[in-house]
Amino acid sequence: MNKSELIEAIAEEADVPKAQAGRVLDALTSVVGGALAEGEQVSMVGFGTFMVRERPARSGRNPRTGESIQIAASKTPSFKAGKALKDRVN
């Protein structure tokens, strides 16, 4: 499912126009992204939790040359599914 299909599904489920569903989806992604950028977690009971995880620095290999390189530490967004979502999928 891509973004336009998701907007269409939200519009049908909530019985709202597609334009309004699109604005709501854009607002949701903006708010979640902003919270993650500030280091906060976003929890939605029954759905899951969005969080930022830290990846430590590590060594790797350049696949082209085989040379050993150092990969810097970084932060990455992560999602942990809630129990209700896991149960629905299984």
Q: Looking at residue 54, what is its pLDDT?
A: 95
Q: How many domains does the chain have?
A: 1
DSSP the chain: --HHHHHHHHHHHHT--HHHHHHHHHHHHHHHHHHHHTT--EEETTTEEEEEEEEPPEEEE-TTT--EEEEPPEEEEEEEE-HHHHHHH-
The predicted structure's pLDDT at residue 44: 95
pLDDT profile of the chain (90 residues), mean per 10: 96 96 96 96 96 96 93 96 94
CATH number of the domain within which 71 lies: 4.10.520.10
Residue 81's pLDDT is: 96
Residue 35: its pLDDT value, please? 97
CA distance 90 to 87: 5
Residues 50 and 41 sit within 8 Å (Cβ to Cβ): yes
pLDDT value, residue 8: 96
- Structure tokens of 80? 């942990």
DSSP-derived 3-state class of residue 67: coil
Structural domain that includes position 34: 3-89
Q: What is the pTM of this model?
A: 0.80
